[in-house]
């Protein structure tokens, strides 16, 4: 769950039953009235996400879609490594042939699957104010499984070489936030937790601590990821970018309207499926923020994105 404010703004609707596959025993979801009473009249944090969470956790369709995307990304990586002028970062220009290759990846819902705590929040009716602690507790468990296809892609990418026999370096740019934690002296315990989680999945490496870039780790590393991509671009040719949210690829879209976001999608139409690969995440994201707080109105409205893009 990459940005706390995205989830806070995106959570809407009433709490309903959710499958308890992530729990050791069946749990009884609270009624929407009980949750709103306990939460001071507000809806629960993850309210409205039942079907999306079930799709991520239980459908073969999600696994097929995710594995398909990662297989296509692996094919694109091979093409990009063979072309020294190829870059997935629009701000990267000039002669890039002297730079070793890199891939940029988001973490949550791109590499690590957090549908378990999402289901738990649905079952418990977690309030807005309870979310930061609940999320940090989950990160501290260091036990998120991998998104289907992600681990295989990362391992294969690290084995690949460009025309100069230089290895691919994976940079993880995540909006997991560096925040203090009671009882810990570490300035950024979330980094340690994420490193251990990745290593447990066989995704460690000698430079992993430097390759994991969290929100707030440096003063200019805010929720916008451009500064971190540009930091990578100074030393590496960025061959691919993989994420689950439009904001993983483009700046200034986190609070843009539906129409504004889609204009940006269309403006970069040649990147999707070639240099940019988006893993589906129907549970949360900046797309949900763009719809506003009234889900009934959003459902009743005509689609906010066109079937195609305007001719360029």
Per-residue pLDDT tens digits for 42-96: 778 888 899 999 999 999 999 999 999 999 999 999 999 999 999 999 999 999 9
What integer pLDDT is reported at residue 31 of this predicted model? 57
Distance, CA of 194 to chain centre: 14
Domains of the chain (ranges plus CATH)?
Answer: 4-178+186-291 (3.40.50.1000)
* Structure tokens given for 31: 């009624």
What is the tens place of the pLDDT at every residue in 219-228?
Answer: 999 999 999 9
Output 55 or 29, whichever has higher pLDDT. Answer: 55
The residue behind tokens 């906010």 is: 304
Are 122 and 29 spatial neighbours (Cβ–Cβ below 8 Å)? Answer: yes
Q: How far is CA 224 from each of CA 88, 196, 282, rounded to the nearest angstrom?
A: 17, 25, 21
* pLDDT tens-digit series, residues 95-145: 999 999 999 999 999 999 999 999 999 999 999 899 999 999 999 999 999
């Amino acid at each position: 769950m990459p940005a706390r404010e995205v989830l806070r703004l995106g959570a809407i609707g009433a709490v309903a039953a959710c499958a308890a596959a992530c729990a050791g025993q069946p749990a009884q979801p609270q009624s929407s009235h009980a949750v709103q009473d306990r939460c001071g009249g507000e809806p629960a944090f993850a309210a409205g996400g039942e079907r999306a969470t079930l799709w991520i956790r239980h459908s073969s369709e999600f696994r097929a879609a995710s594995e398909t995307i990662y297989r296509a990304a692996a094919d694109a990586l091979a093409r990009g490594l063979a072309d020294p002028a190829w870059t997935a970062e629009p701000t990267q220009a000039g002669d890039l042939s002297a730079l070793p290759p890199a891939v940029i990846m988001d973490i949550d819902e791109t590499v690590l699957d957090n549908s378990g705590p999402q289901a738990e929040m649905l079952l418990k009716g977690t309030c807005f104010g309870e979310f930061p602690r609940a999320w940090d507790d989950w990160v501290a468990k260091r036990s998120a499984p991998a998104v289907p296809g992600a681990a295989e892609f990362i391992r294969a990418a690290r084995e690949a070489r460009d025309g100069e026999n230089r290895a691919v370096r994976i940079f993880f740019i995540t909006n997991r936030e560096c925040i203090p934690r009671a009882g810990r002296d570490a300035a950024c315990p979330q980094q340690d937790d994420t490193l251990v989680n990745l290593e447990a999945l066989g995704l460690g490496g000698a430079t992993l601590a430097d390759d994991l870039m969290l929100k707030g780790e440096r003063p200019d590393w805010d929720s916008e990821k451009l500064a971190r991509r540009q930091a990578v671009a100074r030393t590496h040719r960025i061959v691919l970018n993989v994420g689950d949210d439009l904001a993983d690829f483009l700046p200034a879209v986190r609070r843009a309207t539906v129409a504004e976001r889609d204009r940006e999608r269309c403006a970069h139409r040649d990147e999707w499926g070639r240099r940019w690969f988006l893993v589906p995440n129907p549970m949360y994201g900046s797309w949900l923020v763009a719809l506003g707080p009234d889900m009934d109105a959003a459902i009743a409205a005509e689609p906010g994105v066109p079937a195609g893009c305007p001719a360029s």
